[in-house]
Amino acid sequence: MVLIAGIDEAGRGPVIGPLVIAITVIDQEQEGKLRELGVRDSKLLSPKQRESMFGPVSKLCKHEILIIEPKEIDAAVESESSNLNWLEADKAILLLNKLRPDIAFIDCPSNNPQAYTEYIRERLDYKPQLVVEHKADVTYPIVSAASILAKVTRDAQIDRLKQRYVVDFGSGYPADELTQQFLKEHYSEYPFFRRSWAAWKNAANQRDQKKLGEF
């Protein structure tokens, strides 16, 4: 039996909410069942399609899902020794060391897949085959499966934040006009902002300058 794994994330770019990283593991001979389910990159599926696949994918694949909160993201982005790419790599290492697949297909966030591969390989406590590529979530069904688990989990986390704080900040992405307006009005009020993001810093600076101008 050869165990293959897929690793992918959801929520890398938003200024609001967590980053979610998922790993899915399956016997290579069973991978065809993912294709039968219609598994594709989560971005190519509607929310309803993704949600309907979450249960079947979870049953077919051994899996783990990590939710990385804004404070941890900010700490990595503002660190002199880390960044968002290495944070993702560190989480991939954690997942691989736990589930120990023979082959791991990883969607690469870095512009340098070779350096990203080496970073992971040097820190693993065993020696799987690593396939680290851009758009791996489009190419490999096992990575598509991970992308579905990550995306559905991330969406659920965003819904919980909106319900908990009784707010609507849109998608949480900086390009979203509703998110932009929410940032301008509430940048200092909630713990779910990524304060290392340029969008948050710009909103904070604009408000601070406005306050100075009122004197």
pLDDT exceeds 70 at position 212: no
CATH 3.40.50.10420 given to domain 3-163: no
Domain layout of the chain by residue ranges: 3-163
Residue ranges of alpha helices (H) inside the chain are 31-37, 47-60, 70-77, 84-99, 113-123, 136-139, 141-165, 177-186, 198-213
pLDDT tens profile 101-160: 999 999 999 999 999 999 999 999 999 999 999 999 999 999 999 999 999 999 999 999
What global pTM score does this model have? 0.93
* pLDDT score for 90: 98
Residue 171 and residue 79 in contact, taking contact as beta carbons nearer than 8 Å: no
* pLDDT score for 215: 45
Give the HSE-up count for residue 16: Cα atoms under 13 Å, Cβ half-sphere. 28
Write out the DSSP string of 45-62. Answer: S-HHHHHHHHHHHHHHSE
